[in-house]
Chains A and B, each alone.
Chain A
Amino acid sequence: MQLSSSSIGRKILMAVTGQVMILFALVHLIGNTTIFGWLHGGINAYAEHLHALPPLVWAFRLFMLAAVSIHIWFGIQLTIENSGGRPQQYAVKSTQKATFASENMIWSGLLILAFIVYHLLHFTMKLIPGMVLTTDPEGTVNVFTMVVSSFQNVFVCAIYAGGMVALFLHLTHGIQSSSQTLGCSNNRTLPVIIKAGTLVALAFLVGYLTIPLSIFAGFLKG
């Protein structure tokens, strides 16, 4: 039987692609913190190393595009199928274990999608107005100036905050859910994984928000 046609198979594809995205989010976060200067040459040097090999960059982008597409495709498909799983709701709603995050995965997911589109238009395609684009003598855009100038705008900060809160919600459920879907949990480990997943989600939230907030608060200046 094809993975893409079975109930568990599709969940497995979602879990794997979800974990690929989490891994990406982790590496991306570590990379972004070079803005605080712990790497020689700061975020500019990081950005330059990252884009040193265009074919590799494109191969990676296509890989991520595939992961995101598979995840979204099955996410929407499974959600639509499930919406009719209980044709009539109970008169009294009483959930014991479901959480706000687990019940709203599709909405937090779609918010993340909207955020990803904005984020690509912003720093990858550089099409969002209001940021300072200076070119270094070598002809590359000064990433540090671009980022710092962007986050001086409160609306831009708010959009990023919103995106990260959506990611936080998505991952508080998503991390433990993907581990269960892949069969990696049992009665002893599941409660631990649920807690650890929430902590990881929180670490992403705090980690990612540190950048725009420290710029907005004036700790990082252009």
Chain B
Amino acid sequence: MSDHKTMTLTLIVWRQKNASDPGKFETYTAKNITDHHSFLEMLDCVNEDLILEGKEPIVFDHDCREGICGMCSQVINGAPHGGQERTTVCQLHMRKFKDGDTIYIEPWRARAFPIVKDLVVDRTALDTIIQAGGYTSCHTGGVADGNAILIPKPVADEAMDAAECVGCGACVAGCPNGAAMLFTGAKVSQLSLLPQGKGEAAARVKAMTAAMTECGFGNCTNHYECQAACPKGINVKFIARMNRDFLKAQFA
């Protein structure tokens, strides 16, 4: 890729030693960046330079780097995952930026997500919501016959759409209220849509939404910033569906 022109960028990055440190922005220069670098690879380059200079590298979360695990989590110029439609930070490429750009990089900011270090936040709260009811209780044993329970294709498809959620928390980061309604709506719906999940639907939606509040997530005011932030294109119709499930559960 030597024939590629390279870019130099100014990064304004949130640095915070730990949860109790107030934190501050630091400015760095990213040099020799090409179109083909992913955003995380660009940060890797900056970190290599920092290490060579004897400075502490920028700490950020990542794992698969192919858009499926939901670990990467950065707010870029105010937009979770950088604001490119259906794209995680790891799948965001530097061709989206121009030589000389200034880029603000911040962690997810929400009451329920305390900052661990720099750009890494603690997303345990999302697991707490899942533990409250994001499962079905069923007998284990021999593998069930694949077609024992018939599920209409449109229903299966909709459940799959909900199940696309990778639990990254961008919806919370994008929400001015720090609400987790899109995440919880997706998790409630993927189960309550299917026959195996219907049995516990009422208890599940009550427990998961209660856990949501206990974890410190805010209340939904239907701005729909979550859907705009979601790298998996989860639709706010799943929030409406959860609200519907919640209403039904009051009479169950």
Residues of A bordering B, CB below 8 Å: 1, 3, 6-12, 78, 81-82, 84-99, 102-103, 105, 173, 176-177, 180-187, 190
8 Å CB contact of B78 from A81, A94, A98, A181: A94
Please name 19 further chain A to chain B contacts, defined as beta carbons within 8 Å, in addition to the given A91-B106, A97-B225, sorted by A numbering.
A6-B210, A6-B246, A8-B242, A9-B250, A85-B111, A85-B218, A86-B175, A87-B110, A90-B75, A90-B78, A90-B104, A90-B106, A91-B12, A95-B225, A96-B83, A98-B224, A185-B240, A186-B240, A186-B241
Q: What distance in Å separates the Cβ of B230 from its nearest Cβ neighbour in chain A?
A: 11
Decide yes or no: A86 and B240 within 8 Å by CB, A95-B225, A105-B221, A183-B247 being known contacts.
no
Q: Which of B175-227 contact A (CB under 8 A)?
A: 175-179, 206, 209-210, 212-213, 217-225, 227
The 8 closest A-B CB pairs, nearest first, are A183-B244, A85-B218, A85-B178, A94-B78, A96-B228, A92-B78, A82-B177, A98-B223
Q: Is B236 an interface residue (CB 8 A)?
A: yes
B72 contacts A by Cβ under 8 Å:
no
Min CB distance, B153 to chain A, in Å? 17
Query: Could you list some 26 contacts between A and B, CB below 8 A?
Result: A1-B206, A3-B250, A6-B206, A6-B209, A7-B212, A8-B243, A8-B246, A82-B219, A84-B218, A85-B217, A90-B75, A93-B78, A94-B79, A94-B83, A96-B228, A97-B228, A98-B224, A98-B225, A103-B176, A105-B221, A180-B243, A182-B247, A183-B240, A183-B244, A183-B247, A186-B240
Mask for B158-183, Cβ within 8 A of A = 1, else 0? 00000000000000001111110000
CB distance from B77 to the nearest CB of A (A): 5
Complex CA–CA separation, A11 to B175 (angstroms): 16
Asked whether, in the complex, the Cβ of B225 is within 8 Å of the Cβ of A90, the reply is no
Give the residues in chain A near B77, CB-CB below 8 Å: 92, 94
Q: Give the Cβ gap from A4 to chain B, nearest Cβ, in Å.
A: 12
Q: Is the interface of B mostly helix, strand, loop or mixed?
A: mixed
Tell whether, in the assembled complex, residue A102 and residue B244 are in contact, meaning their CB atoms are under 8 Å apart.
no
Report chain B residues within 8 Å CB of A11: 219-220, 243
Given that A91-B25, A103-B176, A180-B243 are contacting pairs, would A10 and B111 also be in contact in the complex, using a CB cutoff of 8 Å?
no
Q: Are B109 and A87 in contact (CB under 8 A)?
A: yes
Interface residues on B, range: 35 or more
Q: What's the dominant secondary structure at chain A's contact region?
A: loop
Cα–Cα, bound, A82→B237 (Å)? 22
- Tell me, rounded to whole Å, the shortest Cβ–Cβ distance linking B248 to chain A: 9
In the assembled complex, the CB of B1 is this many whole angstroms from the nearest CB of chain A, namely 30
Please give, as numbers and ranges, the residues of chain B lying within 8 Å of A9 by CB-CB distance: 246, 250
Does B235 sit within 8 A of A, measured CB to CB?
A: yes
Q: What sequence of 0s and 1s flags, for each residue 94-110 of chain B, a beta carbon within 8 Å of any chain A beta carbon? A: 00000000001010011
A7-B212, A90-B106, A91-B106 given; A102·B246 CB < 8 A: no
Cβ–Cβ < 8 Å partners of B223 in chain A:
95, 97-99, 102-103
User: CB < 8 Å: which of B110, B219, B239, B245 contacts A86?
Assistant: B110
Known: A1-B210, A87-B111. A102 touches B221 (CB 8 A): yes
Q: How close is B242's CB to chain A, nearest CB, in angstroms? A: 7
Instruction: State the CA gap A94–B103 with chains docked (Å).
Output: 13
Residues of B within 8 A of A81 (CB): 218-219
Beyond A6-B209, A9-B246, A11-B219, whether A90 also contacts B240 by CB under 8 A is no
The answer to whether A7 and B109 have CB atoms under 8 Å apart is no
Residue numbers in B under 8 Å from A89 (CB-CB): 109
Residues of chain B contacted by A176 (CB below 8 angstroms): 222
* B residues near A105, Cβ cutoff 8 Å: 221
Docked-complex contact A85 and B228, CB < 8 angstroms: no
In the complex, the chain A residue whose C-beta lies closest to that of B213 is A7
Q: Can you name the residue of chain A whose Cβ is closest to the Cβ of B228?
A: A96
* Chain B residues, Cβ within 8 Å of A78: 219, 221
Q: A1-B210, A97-B224, A102-B221 are in contact. Are A85 and B110 (CB under 8 A)?
A: yes
Task: Report yes or no: B240 in contact with A8, Cβ–Cβ below 8 A.
Answer: no
